[in-house]
Amino acid sequence: MLIWDQIFAAIDWFIPAAAKLERSERGLAQNFVFTHLFGPLLSQSIALFLYLSDPHPGFACWTVIACIWSFWTLPLVYRQTGNLQLSALVSVELLAFTSLFGAYYYGGVSSPFLPWLIISLLLGFFYLSERPFLVVGLFTVNIAGFCAAYLSWGFPELVPQDHLATVGWISILSATIYMSWMAIYYANMIAMRSDLEREAERHRETAIRLREAKDIADAANRAKSIFLAKMSHELRTPLNAVIGFSEILLEGVELDGKKGHKKIDLERINSAGKHLLSLVTDVLDLSKIESNHIELKIEEFDLNAMVREVIANVQPMVTENGNKLVVKCSSNLGTVSTDQTKLRQAALNVMSNAAKFTENGTIILSVQRRKSQGGDWIEIQVQDSGIGIASPDIGRLFQNFGQANSATSSKYGGTGLGLALSQKFCALMGGGISATSEFGHGSCFTIRVPAWISQQQEADENYCETSPQIANVLAV
């Protein structure tokens, strides 16, 4: 085994680095080098017997011997040029010339060199299969030269025909061994190609089955989404009734001036109903997105007014955990054209998460209009000093029902739909949400969506410094 490794290492020395990259090309290159290193060894006996048979070895004899020895230089030609087809072309031409030249001077049409002409033709189509006309043209020129020499001077009889019998048998034996090797190599190539074709066919069948399974899964997912959409819609009607009647009862209790457990119980009913309604609404929105039944409602609105609504809605959650809200924004963010409801919901979801996962800390809301060659963009950034998220867990945040980890879910609750929906809403509006975080040191979420989906509009971009109190922002 070590000997074979050394032989292959010696063969690979002649192969340029580029040829080693492709398995098929490397195998062809190895075969070329091997046959041109060991093939001339078979021909040395022909050269020796030819030299001994010729009573006056001269130009013809030494030319044949020189051509046989020249085959050993072709692996070096391949190493220097890195072009297998060029090296093979030189080899085929050299073999065709040697065969016809030797046949002209030694035996004519009965020469022991003629079998090698057939071999050179086969090798030409083997190595230059992509250029068959070149091979045909090459042999046409060589045979035409052979015929022209015969018609002009005839066949010179340097060695009697009967003296060439030994050389003929050696030539036929060498040619048989050479062609057997090439036939074995070619059979292995065909077998390998058949294996590859069978493997490719198996992969095609597997791909077809996977596509069919994917189509079935997509159909089932769409059916599930439609079912959830219908069920969620049906659930909202009784939930609205529960919330509405609880609010009526609360108003009645407050008018009567009664307090105690009755009011507390009604507040719990009302709060639980609103929470359940928000969950049902999230599921409804998610199912609409997955079933491609949700559409954008593009409208022009004042971005500052939307920011004030978001702040007013999230302020109770911020103060509940003892946090301070800091806002950075322009005094005139201008008018934008996009889906206000979805943008507000995405901002509320991000702000709600910051308020929920931060205690006695700071939450910074930055709203900007960024204009560049890529367009006019709304950028809403929410930064908190809360619990943070470990790097491996960030990828799960925007998955349906995904949360950072099970410990977070059990401690803080939630369904894990908020960020997933927000990301889908932003994607529908042509933008997205990005997140950066460090565990134990807070998080930063950035919403970025186009400011104008239907048109472009200039806006004043004068940004102010950090406002330490929320009242300053609400007064803008």
Tens-digit pLDDT profile for residues 70-105: 999 999 998 888 888 899 999 999 999 999 998 898
Q: Give the model's confidence band at 463: pLDDT under 50 very low, under 70 low, under 90 confident, else very high.
A: very low
Mean predicted lDDT score pLDDT of the chain? 79
* Range from 163-177, 404-418, 439-453 carrying the lowest mean pLDDT: 404-418
Contact at 8 Å (CB) between 384 and 365? no
For range 303-329, the mean pLDDT: 88
Listed by start position, the domains of the chain span 2-159, 299-474
Helix, strand, coil distribution of the chain in percent, nearest 5: 65, 10, 20
pLDDT of residue 183: 82
Stated length of the chain: 476
* Range from 143-157, 335-349, 461-475 carrying the lowest mean pLDDT: 461-475
pLDDT of residue 461: 35
pLDDT of residue 293: 61
Which burial class, exposed, middle or buried, applies to 166 when counting CB atoms under 10 A from its CB (0-12, 13-18, 19+)? Answer: middle
Q: Which amino acid is at 292?
A: N
Question: Tokens 């919901």 appear where?
Answer: 345
State pTM to two decimals.
0.45
**Bridge partner residues of 380 (DSSP):** 367, 447
Contact at 8 Å (CB) between 102 and 108? no
Pick the CATH number of 299-474 from 3.10.20.30, 1.10.260.40, 3.40.630.30, 3.30.565.10: 3.30.565.10
| Phi and psi, residue 125, nearest 5° | -70, -25
Give the span between the Cα atoms of 372 and 336, in whole angstroms.
16
User: Higher pLDDT residue, 278 or 54?
Assistant: 54
Start-to-end CA distance of the chain, whole Å, equals: 85
